[in-house]
Amino acid sequence: MKPDLFQAPDYYQIDDLLSDEHKMVRDAARSWVKREVSPIIEEYAQRAEFPKQIIKGLADIGAFGPYIPQEYGGAGLDQISYGLIMQEIERGDSGVRSTASVQSSLVMYPIFKYGTEAQRKKYLPKLASGEFMGCFGLTEPDHGSNPGGMTTNFKEEGEYYVLNGAKLWISNAPFADLAVVWAKDASGRIHGLIVERGMEGFTTPETHNKWSLRASATGELIFDNVKVPKENLLPGKSGLGAPLGCLDSARFGIAWGAIGAAMDCYDTALRYAKERIQFDKPIGGTQLQQKKLAEMITEITKAQLLAWRLGVLRDQGKATSAQISMAKRNNVDMAIKIAREARQILGGMGITGEYSIMRHMMNLESVITYEGTHDIHLLITGMDITGLSAFS
């Protein structure tokens, strides 16, 4: 792969909206990605393997629990810092950002928000340091967009809950030490349970043959009469709103992360267009290529402003779930379109692993589907503005 020459675009001086701390956190993540992710990621993606050696580095840059309080091992940062870290990691690879998103928003967040003090103390510091890795089991083979229909269930048996069912498409599952699993009790109410690797009847087979997020490990969670100790239930919130509340945090991170992938595609295409000579002049001097590049920077700038404003609202505790849906949907769509256009600017070179664009493009096919598909987020906006649900 080519050396990482990335220079971040900032067409509207959005840096001026950031504090010194934001810039420090962002720059640390950016340097780490250049040093530790860019040189190896193409090879790991080609091999369809998660580079486990980067776990410690992710923990060191604060990517595991950026906004979890320091007393539990988190970085104690604000939402914009969290967003900026996700942006920088996804600039390297969406699969690496996935690992960090799941650990922070889908494992640490529910334990912090809905867990007991004993659960927080037991799990959060080890998740923050990367000693424990986690995954989040919501999606099932027959219930993806409609998680409320889940059939995974548990019933009380003495000191335990006995868990049965299966989850599909679970990021980090093949190597996770623990899983936050959403399942129905005997009355059909949804609860979160912490299931640990090694519990009898719990297996995590890996999902192979992905053309997308190849550097992220995806798998199933199978529960065959797993005896989960009662103290592993998250008591703070039940019902579908509990897992969906975690998704708000992860979708916010994706809204920022997608900007990173788009920036990398734009920056690569811009450099290539200025250097590549056809018909005795740089292709960047042609109107058609300039149109592509000018539209890319316009869309990136709009996405940056959307994400920044959403971060401010999140920090003020005022962001709605529907606002988060809009940003996730818009920014991922923006990134995937930019990846496709950028690939064309590179011509044949665009399909090779010499450049990051095709990898971003394939990764974004997952990002536009997980955490709520492109269409589901549109319907969430539709429901918000009309007050009418298209789901039921």
Residues noted as catalytic: 371
- Given a contact cutoff of 8 angstroms between Cβ atoms, the answer to whether 269 and 293 are in contact is yes
Interface pick for ligand FAD out of 130, 134, 137, 284 (rule CB under 6 A): 137
Q: Is beta strand 153-157 parallel, antiparallel or unpaired with respect to 134-137? A: unpaired
Residue 137, contacted partner among ligand FAD, ligand TGC, none, CB below 5-8 A by kind:
ligand FAD
Q: How far is the CB of 19 from ligand FAD (least distance, A)?
A: 32
Q: How many Å apart are CA 86 and CA 105, to the nearest integer? A: 11
Q: Which is nearer to ligand FAD, 180 or 270 (CB)?
A: 180
Q: How many Å apart are CA 189 and CA 185, to the nearest integer? A: 5
Residue 375, contacted partner among ligand FAD, ligand TGC, none, CB below 5-8 A by kind:
ligand FAD
Q: How many Å apart are CA 89 and CA 91, to the nearest integer? A: 5
Handedness of CA 100, 102, 106, 107 (dihedral sign): negative
Q: Which is nearer to ligand FAD, 170 or 336 (CB)?
A: 170
Tokens of 112: 């912090």
Supply the DSSP symbol for 207.
Answer: P
Burial class (CB in 10 A: 0-12, 13-18, 19+), 160: middle
Q: How far is the CB of 147 from ligand TGC (least distance, A)?
A: 5
Q: Which is nearer to ligand FAD, 91 or 329 (CB)?
A: 329
94 touches ligand FAD by CB under 6 A: no
Binding range to ligand FAD, per CB under 6 A, among 37-45, 154-162, 293-301, 373-381: 373-381
Enumerate binding residues for ligand TGC (CB under 6 A): 98, 101-102, 136, 138-139, 145, 147-148, 171, 239-241, 244-245, 247-248, 250, 321, 370-372, 376, 380, 391-392
Burial class (CB in 10 A: 0-12, 13-18, 19+), 35: exposed
3-class SS of residue 58: helix
Q: How far is the CB of 350 from ligand FAD (least distance, A)?
A: 23
Q: Is beta strand 218-229 parallel, antiparallel or unpaired with respect to 178-184? A: unpaired
Residues 97-126 that bind ligand FAD (CB under 6 A): 102
Under the rule (CB under 6 A), what is the footprint of ligand FAD? 102, 135-139, 144-145, 169-171, 213, 218, 366, 369-371, 373, 375-376, 391
